Amino acid sequence: MELRIDRQALVPVVQQIVDALAGWLRQDGVLPGTRLPSARQIARANLLSQSSVVEACERLVAQGVLAPRQGAGFIVAVLVADGRQDGPWFEGAEMTLGGASGELKLGCGGLPESWRETDDLTYAIRQVSRTDMAGLFNYSTPLGLPALREQILKRLLQLDIEVDKRRIVTTSGATHGLDLIVRTLLKPGDCVVVESPGYSMLFDLLRLNGVTMIEVPRTPCGPDTQTLEALLVKYRPRALFINSFYHNPTGSSLTPVIAQQVLQLTKAHGVLVIEDDVYADLHSGPGTRLAAMGIDDNVIYVGSYSKTLSSSLRVGFVVASDAIVSRLAEVKMTSSMGASRFCEAVLACLLASGAYRKLVQRQRQRLNTDREAALQVLEDTDWEVFGKPVGGLFIWARSRSCDFAQVCIQARRFGVLLSSVTAFSPGGEATDWQRINVAYACDPRARAFFQATALNRPQAF
């Protein structure tokens, strides 16, 4: 039994063994009653210490997955099912490809667990638990913890977004922010412009609220402004949803010229702009943002810490005019009694100490190295890339030499989980373009997958 253990990863080895064993049981559909190879055999085959393997098995016993065997060793206690709802999930995941936890989530939208860093986060959690009773037990305020909003304000200033603290409302992640905006400012039957391809969960949210979407094509420089103008004239939409930096799924960013045009057009047509910038901290320096050109009644800015610090902490924020922020805060209190004060306090602590700034610096460096390597692999294996991204998580690409069915077969062969063919289209249309997450693209399984797609290249006579 071969277990994939990453000794550089910050996830403790025992936990990695637990995950790998559970992944093996799930993937191979190992039946209850099956005897597990002995801890010594597993340890030897994977260059692990026997005690780590035994500890991992004990944890699986505690979870009811394994049972101690009379005599010695362990047997499988239950069939480890691949439940879609409880299993590994990412927005835009290919739903037909299984999704066992052992698969490499090449198409997913976040950083791998092994990239996440626990030390500073654990320290901040302890610090809040020990010193901040209100943080442990009380509701937060309607706008969110002042100490956190103070820190967000400082970061916004670095991005040239000049506002005061009363124009920031914290949310449980950007998703909550988008939800509040849609519920508060739009009504069923309203029409909005979304980018295509674009963020799949936004499309689901708009559908859920009965909002009609019209699509503007995303180019490597931002939305196609000629089409945008025509759409604004023809449909008179209420709002435009846009990703400024490291767009999901193409990885592209707004250029200053396109940003100016978007702002002029939307102002001229009285269209609200919702600028979703959740990948902002994966970029250093100011860059081009619509909100930096002036937050007024026209522009709403959405941010999050999910992509860098933790998707589990669920902290995000919305910046808007005074009037809009008060309405969002009211709906936030009515629907959820505010965001988690504890999580807000933990984040404020990490921001104030500078630990978060250093964390994102390290993530950016690592991503830059891996992006360069991934782009090289894609070039070598004859994949077409949609505008070479200079930062962030994503590369949008498709194979030139392999048809899409073959790409899927090769992905399955190498245990690679791709993004969905339809998720990034507002109208649910299929595409052969793939969202490649650079943080997964240097894994040997991803490299083997790309290489196998190149082997399908038609031979020249």
Site residues (CB under 6 A) for ligand PLP?
91, 109, 173-175, 199, 243, 248, 276, 278, 304, 306, 311, 316
Toward ligand PLP, which CB reaches closer, 109 or 223?
109
**Contact predicate 419/107, CB 8 Å:** yes
Toward ligand PLP, which CB reaches closer, 109 or 135?
109
Minimal distance, residue 192 CB to ligand PLP, in Å? 15
What is the C-alpha to C-alpha distance for residues 163 and 138, in angstroms, rounded to an integer?
28
Minimal distance, residue 89 CB to ligand PLP, in Å? 12
**Contact predicate 401/429, CB 8 Å:** no
Tokens 């002042």 sit on residue: 146
Question: Residues with Cβ < 8 Å from 405, sequence gap 6 or more?
Answer: none
Minimal distance, residue 194 CB to ligand PLP, in Å? 11
Measured at CB, which residue is nearest to ligand PLP?
173
Toward ligand PLP, which CB reaches closer, 305 or 450?
305
What is the C-alpha to C-alpha distance for residues 257 and 79, in angstroms, rounded to an integer?
57
Instruction: Give the chain's length.
Output: 461
What is the C-alpha to C-alpha distance for residues 161 and 318, in angstroms, rounded to an integer?
12
Toward ligand PLP, which CB reaches closer, 174 or 441?
174
> Concatenated DSSP letters for 58-113?
HHHHHTTSEEEPSSSSEEE-S-----TTTS---TTB-TTS---TTSB-TT-SS--G
Toward ligand PLP, which CB reaches closer, 37 or 112?
112
**Contact predicate 453/407, CB 8 Å:** yes
Minimal distance, residue 253 CB to ligand PLP, in Å? 13
Q: Which of helix, strand or coil describes residue 206?
A: helix
Minimal distance, residue 329 CB to ligand PLP, in Å? 18
Minimal distance, residue 91 CB to ligand PLP, in Å? 5
Minimal distance, residue 204 CB to ligand PLP, in Å? 12
What is the C-alpha to C-alpha distance for residues 52 and 48, in angstroms, rounded to an integer?
7
